[in-house]
Amino acid sequence: MSASVVGRLLSGLAENAVLGLGEPTHGTAEAFAVKLEVIHELARSGRLAMMAVEESFTVGLGVDAALRGEGDLDAAWDRGSSLWDTVTIREGLRTLRTITETFPRERRPRFLGVDISKPYRTARALQDRGARSPVLDAVASRADLPADAVTELISLCRTFESVEDSVTAGLARNLRRHADAYLLAPHLSRLHRRDTHMADTLLENLPRRGITVLWAHNEHLARNPEGWGDGPTMGHLLDRALGERYVSVGMLCGQGECRAVDPSTGSDDYAAVPLPPLHADTTDHALAQLGTPFVTGEEFTHPGPRRFIGWQVDTSLFDDARDVRDTFEMRRPSTDFWALVHLPRSTADVTAARAEPQ
């Protein structure tokens, strides 16, 4: 199936497109495999300019350097989120390195982390580049900041954003954006700002030529003007800024398991967790009935809802249909995406072995 899906995805794709590739869960091996196959094919053909991922900016810098032969790729990925620490993804990154390591350095695709997570790592990276401040020390040591210190941190970041060194400026911008979305509102009332900041980070770093692949969950890539809270999704902002250059592809799946945390078990570890029940009125079910692995918006439309499954799946909710609706479904139409990929089943990806980052 993947070969036909990849072929349809890449046929007619503009030479400077931003291709958003979603996923039905944060732990479906089949979804990761399809996305990596697209990325590898673009890399082999020389069309891949950048791989951007829903991962921290500092991890992106480390992976980018490793792909250019300036560091250990696995060590760089060790510093990232446990969410993406799977065998399929690690092997896919190694394959990408193998494909591109023979290219001249200036022709190798870039790697970008668009997220505003792991502020302590961002603060430490700024310190490594000569930045000094007590409030920066506090963030680097993962200390809680009082409100006046948050204001001081934002002011400090704005100062460093104006320096000539682009990496220092990018780190400072990323840390300020974390403070804006998380620290100014400890109860997450500004969490919707995360999508805005991820969109801005991508737009600021878009290569002049070539295709950019954006890797994130479906609901970050959806062209939804009302994402989380009071703000739009990353996909809506990219669609508004880029127009037809932005191509959003959602992935839905049938039944099976995904790699997730199940709170009902009392464990915080990732495991193979069953997917929630699939209701007959969902887009997921309609695609399964259609039996086609790839459809564009011109070929298929559905009013929704569609399943929404993140990194956490509480199986204790499965016996109550209302709980399943409220927790695991997004009442949005298929037109949020330019196209949809349907995976008949979901297999839980396997957690990769790694040393716990400090």
pLDDT along the chain (358 residues), means of 10: 81 94 97 97 97 98 95 95 95 97 93 98 97 97 95 97 97 98 89 96 96 98 86 96 98 97 97 97 97 96 97 97 96 97 97 64
How do the domains of the chain map onto residue ranges? 2-115+210-346, 116-195
Average pLDDT, the chain: 95
Tokens read off for 229: 């809270």
User: Quick one: which of 87, 88, 64, 68 has its CA closest to 76?
Assistant: 64
The burial class, CB within 10 Å (0-12 / 13-18 / 19+), for 254 is middle
Query: What angle do the packed helices 2-10 and 29-44 form, to 10 degrees?
Result: 50
What is the pLDDT, as a whole number, of residue 269? Answer: 96
Would the CA dihedral through 105, 106, 108, 111 be positive or negative? positive
Interatomic CA distance for residues 49 and 39, integer angstroms: 10
Query: Per residue in 59-85, pLDDT tens?
Result: 999 999 999 999 999 999 999 999 999
216-259 pLDDT per residue, tens: 999 999 998 988 777 899 999 999 999 999 999 999 999 999 99
Q: Which of 192, 37, 38, 195 has the alpha carbon at shortest distance from 114? A: 195
Instruction: Rounding to the nearest 10 degrees, give the CA dihedral for residues 101, 72, 91, 208.
Output: -50
Distance CA 140, CA 136 (A): 6
**Which residue in 166, 148, 165 sits closest to 156, CA to CA?**
148
Residue 306 pairs in a beta bridge with: 330
Q: Which pLDDT value is given to residue 358?
A: 44
- Per residue in 88-107, pLDDT (tens digit) is 999 999 999 999 999 998 89
Q: Tell whether the torsion through CA atoms of 240, 242, 245 and 248 is positive or negative.
A: negative
Give the containing element (helix H, strand E) for 158.
Answer: helix 147-161
Residue 258 burial class via C-beta count within 10 angstroms: exposed 0-12, middle 13-18, buried 19 and up: buried
Task: Count Cβ atoms below 10 Å from residue 62 Cβ, excluding itself.
Answer: 24
pTM of the model: 0.96
CB half-sphere exposure, 203, CA atoms < 13 A: 18
* 7 burial type by CB count under 10 A (0-12 exposed, 13-18 middle, 19+ buried): exposed
Q: Is residue 305 classed as helix, strand or coil in its secondary structure? A: coil
**HSE value, Cβ hemisphere, 13 Å, CA-based, for 196:** 16
C-alpha–C-alpha distance, residues 216 and 195, integer Å? 11
pLDDT for the residue 292: 94
- Say what the pLDDT of residue 316 is: 98
Homologous superfamily (CATH) for 2-115+210-346: EreA-like (biosynthetic domain) (3.40.1660.10)
- pLDDT for 229 equals 72
DSSP 8-state assignment for residue 208: S
